[in-house]
């Protein structure tokens, strides 16, 4: 793993950066600093490959800091972050030799692509410096092919039990690789499976607490455990069954979450009795219909709060709750935070 130092005077910004899935791209955050002098002191100890810094450095001129980093004996790769207002300032940094410049808020996908290019740059520089030997062409496959990844997605979303066997094969294929290379590949593969599930069935994954038991952890790797969890969701909610009554109920709840959705309204649209719909739902999911509706509405509420276009009482009304205090109670019970607290945290997100 390449070592990263984060420099930003804003503690919450540093926290947001540290939460990024660095290992997926071959990096790990080993140091952080609030000011330029602190960052230079940590760089002097060696071992830093990449510096991610805000264009504004609190205790010294930002360009002077960049120049000092550039003169460092083992000059690390530099990624510069700034707001649009600092564009001209950042351009001067690019002239000094910054690897890349990005504006806040960051796109996770764009930042990931920048890290991929930075990793290639660092690999080439190590080879040119004679610090590492280039990998032979015959070495085991390091990257998961698009075809294999697509196969995993299709097997998962079709509810094919062969998905679990394909996941095991992928792990065996990557066994010859060192942990530093294998783990980011598996993490990336799992993230893409999560994205595929969220795109097809946006209401399902966040409603379940996907945490393997200690007994399960002893039986396999985290990648395989997560794969089993995703497949279990496909089976539990009958997502691969086109004519499944349970799936139809869940889809209607998600589509009508911004209204006063009820068991009677859903059952009427499916031309079945409310009692029958309620019994089917409870028997197959283990929870009652009202609990499921509340979870879906709270997830919708989180999305609306993050978007920041509506006041709390407006979101409450959109979700079918005439009493904002009742919505507040439900939201806090579900998330552990009030809507106002959740909105405040979401505004401090570094990534859009």
List pLDDT tens digits, range 31-64: 999 999 999 999 998 899 999 998 888 788 777 8
Q: What is the token pair recorded at 249?
A: 């109920």
Question: CA dist 167 to 155, 178, 223, 225, Å?
Answer: 10, 18, 8, 10
pLDDT greater than 60 at residue 135 = no
Residue 147: count of CB within 10 angstroms of its CB: 8
Q: Which of 179-188, 257-266, 327-336 has the least mean pLDDT?
A: 179-188
pLDDT greater than 60 at residue 143 = no
Q: What is the pLDDT of residue 3?
A: 94
Domain 245-347 part of CATH 1.20.1050.10: no
The confidence band for 128, taking pLDDT boundaries of 50, 70 and 90, is low
Residue with tokens 């015959």: 138
List pLDDT tens digits, range 66-97: 888 877 776 788 898 876 555 566 566 566 66
Mean of pLDDT over the chain: 83
3-state secondary structure 78-145: EEEEECHHHHHHHHHHHHHCCCEEEECCECHHHHHHHHHHHHHHHHHHHHHCCCCCCCCCCCCCCCCC
Q: Rg for the chain (alpha carbons), in Å?
A: 24
What is the largest distance, in Å, between two alpha-carbon atoms of the chain? 75
Q: What is the pLDDT of residue 94?
A: 61
Residue with tokens 């349970």: 246
For residue 327, what are the contacts with CB-CB under 8 A and spacing of at least 6?
Answer: 301, 312, 315, 316, 319, 321, 339
Task: Name the fold adopted by 2-128.
Answer: Rossmann fold (3.40.50)
Domain residue ranges of the chain, discontinuous segments joined by +: 2-128, 146-236, 245-347
pLDDT greater than 70 at residue 180 = yes
The confidence band for 347, taking pLDDT boundaries of 50, 70 and 90, is low
Q: What is the pLDDT of residue 132?
A: 52
The confidence band for 138, taking pLDDT boundaries of 50, 70 and 90, is very low
More confident residue, 139 or 87: 87
CB-CB contact of 246 with 237 (8 Å): yes
């Amino acid at each position: 793993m390449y070592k990263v130092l984060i420099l930003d005077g804003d503690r919450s910004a540093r926290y947001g950066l540290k939460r990024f899935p660095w290992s997926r791209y071959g990096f790990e955050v080993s140091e952080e600093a609030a000011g330029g002098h602190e960052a230079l002191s940590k760089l002097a100890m060696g071992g830093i490959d990449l510096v991610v810094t805000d264009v504004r450095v609190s205790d010294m001129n930002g360009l002077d800091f960049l120049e000092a980093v550039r003169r460092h004996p083992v000059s690390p790769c530099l990624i510069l972050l700034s707001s649009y207002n600092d564009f001209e300032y950042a351009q001067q940094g690019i002239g000094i030799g910054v690897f890349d410049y990005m504006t806040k808020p960051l796109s996770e996908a764009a930042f990931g692509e920048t890290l991929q290019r930075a990793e290639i740059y660092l690999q080439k520089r190590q080879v040119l410096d004679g610090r590492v030997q280039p990998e032979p062409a015959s070495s085991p496959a390091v990257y998961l092919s698009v075809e294999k990844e697509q196969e995993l997605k299709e097997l998962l979303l079709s509810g094919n039990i062969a998905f679990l066997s394909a996941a095991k094969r992928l792990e065996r294929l990557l066994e010859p690789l060192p942990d530093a290379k294998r783990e980011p590949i598996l993490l990336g593969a799992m993230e893409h499976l999560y994205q595929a599930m969220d795109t097809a069935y946006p209401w399902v994954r966040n409603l379940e607490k996907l945490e393997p038991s200690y007994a399960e952890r002893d039986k396999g790797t985290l990648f395989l455990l997560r794969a089993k969890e995703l497949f279990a969701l496909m089976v539990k909610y009958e997502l691969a069954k086109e004519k499944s009554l349970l799936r139809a109920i869940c889809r209607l709840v998600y589509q009508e979450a911004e209204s006063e959705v009820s068991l009677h309204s859903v059952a009427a649209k499916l031309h079945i009795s409310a009692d029958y719909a309620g019994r089917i739902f409870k028997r197959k999911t283990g929870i009652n219909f009202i609990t499921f509706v509340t979870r879906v509405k709270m997830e919708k509420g989180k999305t609306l709060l993050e978007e920041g276009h509506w006041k709390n009482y407006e979101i409450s009304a959109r979700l079918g709750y005439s009493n904002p205090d009742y919505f507040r109670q439900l939201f806090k019970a579900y998330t552990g935070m009030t809507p106002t607290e959740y909105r405040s945290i979401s505004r401090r997100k570094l990534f859009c």
